[in-house]
Structures are given as structure tokens and as C-alpha cells.
Amino acid sequence: MSSKVTGGAQIPAAYASFHVLPNASDDPSDERMPKNLAQACLLFHQTNNDKCLDRLHEDMGRLLSILAKGPDGKTKISIGKGCICWSCGFVGLPSNAQEVETTSGFIAATCKLCSLNDDTNFIEGRQPDGSAIPFIEADLALA
Ligand SMILES: [Zn+2]
């Protein structure tokens, strides 16, 4: 029997640097709305949503490791505006990233994992000094 650690009790400090941007339809004064990914973890933890919690940790682990190492010059990467999907816990670039970057005005992020776009928010990574932290993803080689 293996005991699986979902990490709900241990949230990397870096998560708090990734802010959840409210959608136009969200009430910014809603206290239940997580303001950053650390709070998102707590929400998933409190609602016993281990699946979302695991997904968030996996995706953030990948992002933080790419940010820590820097691009190796060999792996093809994508940089853009990240999002979180509240239905599946996905954190990363949306599947409509190109549309999001090129269209003026608001377009909801489409989750790359479950393809929903009605339960997503954009994420903005910000260092304590205010500088932006980009979302970088290694492009998966799709055959
Ligand atoms: Zn999703």
C-alpha cells in the first residue's frame, strides 16, 4: 500500500506569485475567489479535490522547473499568457493561446486538457518587485 502525498499541506512559496485575474463576469470582491495559485491549492484541498490539486502541482512543477533552469536552446518552447481551469486543475497556456494573444478585447481561455472555457481564469506571474514571470511550456513532440 502506498500513501500518496498530494501536497495540500505544503504549498511552494512561488505559487503566491501567480495571481488569478478575475474575468469580467467575476465579482472581484468575492472572498471565495482564490487570488493566487497558493489560494487555489487551498481551495482544491478544502473541497477534497485531489484530482485538481495533483494536476495543479504537476503543471506548476513543470513550469517552475523550466523557469529555474531556463530554456536549454534545444527544446522548442511556447511563451504566453497562462490560465487555470477550475474544472480539472490544469495550469498552463490555453489551447486558444494564439487567439488570446492576437485579439484585442477579452477572450476566455480554453483549457488545453478538458477543452472547457467557461470555468477558466488567466494567471499573471509577478515577482515581488513587480516584474512579470512568463508562462513557458516545452512543446510536447506530437507525432
Ligand atoms: Zn480543464
Q: pLDDT tens, 62-121?
A: 999 999 988 788 888 899 999 999 999 999 999 999 999 999 888 999 999 999 999 999
Instruction: Calculate how far, in angstroms, residue 50's C-alpha sits from the geometric centre of ligand 1.
Output: 14
Domain ranges of the chain: 15-21+32-138
95 CA distance to ligand 1 middle (Å) = 10
The C-alpha angle 126, 73, 124, rounded to 5 degrees, equals 15
User: Is 8's pLDDT higher than 60?
Assistant: no
Residue 64: strand, helix, or coil? helix
* pLDDT, mean over the chain: 89
Q: Could you tell me the distance, in angstroms and rounded to a whole number, from the CA of residue 129 to the centre of ligand 1?
A: 31
Give residue 49 CA to ligand 1 midpoint distance, Å.
13
**Separation of 117 CA from ligand 1 center, angstroms?**
8
